[in-house]
Structure 1
Amino acid sequence: MTCTKSTLIEKISNIFDQNPSQSKEVLETLIEIMKSTLASGEDIMVSGFGKFQVIEKSPRKGRNPATGDAMILEKRRVVTFKCAGKLKNKINEELQ
């Protein structure tokens, strides 16, 4: 099952015995901070969780899947996530 924003809000509300609107405000603020940080090109490192990093992609040749026409894809920035060792271990605990 996918954990959605509303699920996170509900869980935060339950853990901290908060009003859901307060939890929503906290989560929305966190997301806005993360978006503006990444948009400025800075990385976000959350100890024990992982690192969100902005990577510059160079222009490259591509193909339109609908028409098959060759095209040049413009340079762009993408966000990548690298999992921390603690999180990786936690995820793989379930398999053992």
Structure 2
Amino acid sequence: MDNQTEIEAAVFRRLLKHLDENKNVQNIDLMNLAGFCRNCLSKWYVAEAQERNVDVSYDKAREFVYGEPYESWKVKHQPKATAQQLAEFNSKMVTGK
């Protein structure tokens, strides 16, 4: 690996660590603020693996991103979205902003 790739990999690991240390930050909050969430990272992981002819399932990618099986993480750390969170998310989906 060249330095650029090593740095990018380290940044990605740091992002995952940061998200893991901040489980209170919900995916819907990430979507509302930044337009991506942990599930998006998982989908990007699968897409990049496929580009390199590496077979990675979405479930395995989510386990990598979440640090445990998604369903387990969800039960432990994901409360039901509030009406306000959903309204903000839905308004962005309609307007695209």
TM over 0.5: no
Higher relative contact order (CA 8 A, sep 6+): 2
The structure in which a higher percent of residues are strand is 1
Greater C-alpha radius of gyration: 1
